[in-house]
Amino acid sequence: MPMRHDFSENLMSLQSHILLEEAKHPSASGDFTWIISAISLAAKSIANHVRRARLSGAIGKFGETNVQGEEQQKLDVIANEAIMRCLGTRASVAVLASEEDDQPTILRRGNEGGKYCVLFDPLDGSSNLDTGVGVGTIFSILRNDPHIPDAQATVCQQGTQQVAAGYVLYGSSTIFVLTTGNGVALFELDPFIGSFLLVKDKVRIPAANKVYSVNEAYASTFPDGYQRYLSWAHANGYSSRYIGSMVADVHRTLLTGGVFMYPPTKKNPEGKLRYLYEASPMAFIMEQAGGLAYSGERRTLEHQPRQVHERVPVLLGSSGEVEKVREFLR
């Protein structure tokens, strides 16, 4: 009797997955695949640097501050350079915008083949590296409008306009999470073959879980609605889970459910997280997995940014948990 094979468990790489997605669109040129491939190459390089950071002397401050007024870590600079170098050679990339840089970088115009803008936070949570906490890269891909000559105006698009978004978590393993608007796929880096392999497709966040994630040390400076919600959560058996690295906190929320919050505070009344580099891509992922994401009273994806480093409050996670928080905010 011939041996039967279960092809449902076939190995699939990140690149193969993207090629299959592009095959669903007859007009696809393959340019998008090259961009994701470049991001995955940069992620492998960053993962290696993170894993060997202490051994190679890459732990600690770089000695300068970025445009956000935050002290740069050595690995912030290394990660930023890795992504810039990997994406800079992709002929379809028109604009690169990094959270670490003051202004977006124009690589080529639309008439020169520039079809996409790639925005990224090269190493979110880098201040946690000293203690071995998981850190990550967040990215967002937008279409380039060749009729807009100004790079900042070009990238200041609503989250609903994103072509793709994702993040890479550098933790106990290296995880690549991606959405192209057709659900969320989760990949894990196999260091032995050097490839991101599909672990789970069509990831869905649980509709509810009695867990909230927020820096509760600032609770006294939150708006009243958030404070009332926290009092209610304490009285109703909720657990608190907060790492302090957005990628790690959102990843846990995506897989196990609950709610992640970064409310406005008296110090940061407009919010702390950057819209284009953090809030918008994470909201896209969360909605594609069946969750919700809000910035104030509006869906995060419907916010219209005016500045490239604009900040917003963030509330995202399981649909039931997000709606419960919103009840208190009303």
What size, in residues, is the chain? 330
How confident is the model at residue 132, as a pLDDT?
A: 76
290-326: pLDDT as tens digits: 999 999 999 999 999 999 999 999 999 999 999 999 9
- 242 plus 302 within the same structural domain: yes
- 156 plus 18 within the same structural domain: yes
How confident is the model at residue 31, as a pLDDT?
A: 87
Residue bearing the bigger pLDDT, 72 or 101? 101
Q: CA-to-CA distance for 256 and 252, rounded, in angstroms?
A: 6
Q: CA-to-CA distance for 218 and 267, rounded, in angstroms?
A: 10
**pLDDT tier, 7 (very low <50, low <70, confident <90, very high otherwise):** very low
How confident is the model at residue 200, as a pLDDT?
A: 96
- 195 plus 318 within the same structural domain: no
Judged against a pLDDT cut of 80, whether residue 194 lies above it is answered with yes
How confident is the model at residue 5, as a pLDDT?
A: 52
Q: Structural domain of residue 255, as residue ranges?
A: 211-329
238-292: pLDDT as tens digits: 999 999 999 999 999 999 999 999 999 999 999 999 999 999 999 999 999 999 9
Q: CA-to-CA distance for 30 and 137, rounded, in angstroms?
A: 23
Q: For the residues 176-180, what does the mean pLDDT come to?
A: 97
> Does 2 map to a domain?
no
Judged against a pLDDT cut of 80, whether residue 9 lies above it is answered with no
Give one DSSP letter per residue of 128-191, joined into a string.
Answer: GGGGT--EEEEEEEEE--TT---HHHHH---GGG-SEEEEEEESSSEEEEEESSS-EEEEEEET
**pLDDT tier, 174 (very low <50, low <70, confident <90, very high otherwise):** very high
- 157 plus 275 within the same structural domain: no
Number of domains in the chain: 2
10 Å CB burial of residue 228 (0-12, 13-18, 19+) is middle
> Does 256 map to a domain?
yes
- 26 plus 151 within the same structural domain: yes
Percentage of residues in the chain with pLDDT exceeding 70? 90
Residue where one domain finishes, among candidates 200, 226, 252: 200
Q: What is the mean pLDDT of the chain?
A: 90
How confident is the model at residue 69, as a pLDDT?
A: 57
Q: CA-to-CA distance for 163 and 179, rounded, in angstroms?
A: 9
- 218 plus 160 within the same structural domain: no
